[in-house]
Amino acid sequence: MSKPTNQKAWLLVIPVVLLVAFNALIPLMTVVNYSVQETFGNNVFFWEGVKWFEQVLNSSRFHEAFLRQLAFTGTILLIEIPLGIAVALSMPKKGPWVSVCLVLMALPLLIPWNVVGAMWNIFALPDIGLLGRTINAMGIDYNFTQQPLAAWITTIAMDVWHWTSLVVLLAYAGLCSIPDAYYQAAKIDGASPWSVFWRIQLPKMKHVLTIAILLRFMDSFMIYTEPFVLTGGGPGNTTTFLSIDLVKIALGQFDLGPAAAMSLIYFFVVLLMCWIFYTLMMRDEEQ
Amino acid sequence: MAKITLKNLRHSYLAEPQNKEDYALQQIDAEWSDGSAYALLGPSGCGKTTLLNIISGLLTPSEGQVLFDDKDITHIPTAERHIAQIFQFPVVYDTMSVFDNLAFPLRNRGVAEDKVTARVNEVAKMLDLEHSLKQRASGLTADGKQKISLGRGLVREDVNVIMFDEPLTVIDPHLKWLLRSKLKELHQQLGITMIYVTHDQTEALTFADHVVVMFEGTVVQVGTPVELFEHPAHTFVGHFIGSPGMNILPCEISDAAAHFAGNRLQTACTKLPGIGTGNLEVGVRPEFVQFDDSGFPVEIVKVDDLGRHQIVAVRHNDNAIKMIIAEDAPIPSENPRISFSPQHTRLYQDSWVVN
């Protein structure tokens, strides 16, 4: 029996195709358009081939921003993932405190990015900020507007404050889905708390942690608003991450060609890293 | 190996139980002999898992004691009780191989590696797992995983008792039978005390030497499968065991005999209770009801032919009675009358049998 062919089904897909086209595909193609041409305004374009790509890939400015970005993302992942797991493990499993903890955890996630940046900016100012003044009062010279290290620490602290909750909530959901029988069996088998963590909890959290790492990777790799409001990319260029640099090139210098090329490179790097990571994490499942 | 004694055991999940309903376990006194296979049988929520978890030490009873070989272990932690428990859903350590899974309880107890290897191989052989030892445990089917759970209990040589909490729930029907025979075989081979919790009467009756029937937090009867079938001590045992269950009919005493709806009945009861003492019922299994022209008249409601026998549902006044008759037995078409076998007709007073 042959399957009936019904081309009318395409009609049902059209709304989605249109939506995706207008919010993703067409803007992206515009960027592609800019990345291979030079324009002086008035919609006059000159073909430039891969010149902008070569320029971006060879520029030390891009290399530095890229390394800075890698260092930042790596650092926050190394802090947020273990910290998130630790907090999730110490949260109560049942009782009235569960909802209290969950609400407290969710609070930072509800605050808009620019507000987080502004909050931390004021909080950490050495002369009027609570945190800044306290640190200075303890005899430590701290000024994130002038010292690169202080700016880095403040940016990382801000990101950890803002986003560890996401990891906590995901890890907690993973922990809650482990049936009691596993803990009971481990008790009967005489397992130590460490092997309970290593043999039961961590493997059972694998999927949610994969999601958590992916989300945190993508998000932190594209971070813009918070450091922009907090440090503006400074002092100097020390906290100029890829997005901040991109906006400087595109809107500050109005170099649309190189900016478009950089956008595309940036996009493919994120895509590639996510793909590699996901493939590695899920490799075992297929065996 | 150990004899298990339960003394005045009561348990409530509430911190301050007020009345009888607050107790998940009402009052349990039992002595289970070493090396026997026991089944805890009862409907969901009757307290059988609670009882199991108390014996394994996952729960501490509100009142009473648990003794292994006359030694009080009520407050000894699970790991030191030398017990094994197999849960409803198979528990395996996903990241470890089958071998490592089986070796896990031994390694946790610091057993030397060459001993571990020898013991694991021995147990794997018993459970027919020797060919999958190197495989990742997560890749096995449900029955394979359940075998690993069981194996983790068997590797320890000091195990006092192995407990099963509805272990065949997630196993395919055709494998259930295989795994159950394997359990029975292991029990005969090793002679370890086994306690098997289930709500499935077939599982309980085929697995155990002694079936402990539980109902609403109490043990209503302990007996061999035959005893439970022929001498139900409680109406619950009567209608829970057997398919269909026992007919439980209202009854009253007059003229020194039991009467059901005005019909005089002969029963196995030797000492009739006095008139007006509690709620009286008469119980008779469908197997012991037969068509009999000298009996009382009934109306046939439905006949189910099950291939091996027929189940006939009849009615006398408003009382439904089920009977099981042979496949080829004739069913009277006009004025059917039935009677009960006197030696299998029992009298129950407030749900408990009167002998």
Q: Average model confidence (pLDDT) for chain A?
A: 88
> What CATH number is given to the structural domain containing B52?
3.40.50.300
B230 and B116 belong to one structural domain: yes
Q: Judge whether A187 is closer than 8 Å to chain B, CB to CB.
A: yes
User: What is the full DSSP assignment across B11-43?
Assistant: EESSSS--SGGGEEEEEEEEEE-TT-EEEEE--
Residues above pLDDT 70, as percent of chain A? 98
- Between CA B345 and CA B288 the distance in angstroms is 8
B169 and B191 belong to one structural domain: yes
Rounded to the nearest angstrom, the minimum Cα separation between B22 and chain A is 20
Q: Which B residues in the span 137-196 are in contact with A, Cβ-Cβ below 8 Å?
A: 139, 149, 152-153
B101 and B137 belong to one structural domain: yes
> pLDDT at position A167, please?
95
For tokens 């045992």, what's the residue?
B237
Kindly give, in sequence order, each residue whose CB lies less than 8 Å from that of residue B141, ignoring residues fewer than 6 positions away. Answer: none
Residue in chain A nearest B152 by alpha carbon? A189
Q: What is the mean pLDDT of residues B288-298?
A: 87
**Is residue A88 pLDDT above 70, yes or no?**
yes
Q: Judge whether A177 is closer than 8 Å to chain B, CB to CB.
A: no
Q: Which of B216, B239, B262 marks a domain boundary?
A: B239
Q: Judge whether A282 is closer than 8 Å to chain B, CB to CB.
A: no
Rounded to the nearest angstrom, the minimum Cα separation between A113 and chain B is 39
Are the C-beta atoms of residues A278 and A203 closer than 8 Å to each other? no
Q: Which of B219, B239, B259 marks a domain boundary?
A: B239
> What CATH number is given to the structural domain containing B316?
2.40.50.140
A181 vs B89, B95, B152: nearest CB: B89
Say yes or no for a CB contact (<8 Å) between B83 and A179.
no
Q: What is the mean pLDDT of residues B101-110?
A: 88
Rounded to the nearest angstrom, the minimum Cα separation between A188 and chain B is 5
Q: Which of B239, B255, B279 marks a domain boundary?
A: B239
B53 and B112 belong to one structural domain: yes
B215 and B314 belong to one structural domain: no
3-class DSSP state of A187? helix
Whole domain around residue B335: which residue ranges? 245-354
B250 and B220 belong to one structural domain: no
* Residue among B215, B216, B213 nearest B21 (CA): B216
Chain B interface disruption, residue of A188, A195, A198, A204, most B CBs within 10 A: A188
Residues above pLDDT 90, as percent of chain B? 3
Q: Judge whether A6 is closer than 8 Å to chain B, CB to CB.
A: no
B89 vs A179, A190, A200: nearest CB: A179
Domain count, chain B: 2
> pLDDT at position A111, please?
92
Say yes or no for a CB contact (<8 Å) between A187 and B58.
yes
Q: Helix crossing, A180-188 with B142-154: angle to 10°?
A: 30
Provide the phi-psi class of A189: left if phi over 0, else alpha when psi is between -120 and 50, else beta.
alpha
B158 and B298 belong to one structural domain: no
Say yes or no for a CB contact (<8 Å) between B89 and A187.
no
Chain A interface disruption, residue of B81, B89, B94, most A CBs within 10 A: B94
Cβ-defined contacts of A60-64 (< 8 Å, 24+): A61/A245, A62/A245, A62/A262, A64/A237
B15 and B118 belong to one structural domain: yes
* List of chain B residues whose C-beta atoms are within 8 Å of the C-beta of residue A204: 94
Q: Average model confidence (pLDDT) for chain B?
A: 85
B328 and B275 belong to one structural domain: yes
Overall pTM > 0.80: no
**Is residue A284 pLDDT above 80, yes or no?**
no
Q: Beta-strand (E) ranges in chain A?
A: 37-39, 45-47
For tokens 């209503």, what's the residue?
B220
- Between CA B1 and CA B161 the distance in angstroms is 6
Chain A to chain B, count of Cβ pairs less than 8 Å apart? 53
Q: Judge whether B56 is closer than 8 Å to chain A, CB to CB.
A: yes
B211 and B145 belong to one structural domain: yes
Q: How confident is the model at residue B205 (pLDDT cuts 50, 70, 90)?
A: confident
> pLDDT at position B264, please?
82
Q: Judge whether B79 is closer than 8 Å to chain A, CB to CB.
A: yes
* Residue among A75, A119, A64, A108 nearest A220 (CA): A75
Structural domain boundaries in chain A: 75-241
Are the C-beta atoms of residues A123 and A207 closer than 8 Å to each other? no
Rounded to the nearest angstrom, the minimum Cα separation between B185 and chain A is 24
In terms of CATH architecture, what is A75-241? Orthogonal Bundle (1.10)
B15 and B114 belong to one structural domain: yes
Q: How confident is the model at residue A77 (pLDDT cuts 50, 70, 90)?
A: very high
Are the C-beta atoms of residues A127 and A117 closer than 8 Å to each other? no
* List of chain A residues whose C-beta atoms are within 8 Å of the C-beta of residue B58: 184, 187
ipTM of the modeled complex = 0.75
Rounded to the nearest angstrom, the minimum Cα separation between A184 and chain B is 7
B188 and B115 belong to one structural domain: yes
Residue in chain B nearest A193 by alpha carbon? B108
Query: For A174-226, what is each residue's pLDDT tens digit?
Result: 999 998 889 888 888 888 889 899 989 998 898 899 889 999 998 999 899 88
Q: Judge whether B105 is closer than 8 Å to chain A, CB to CB.
A: yes
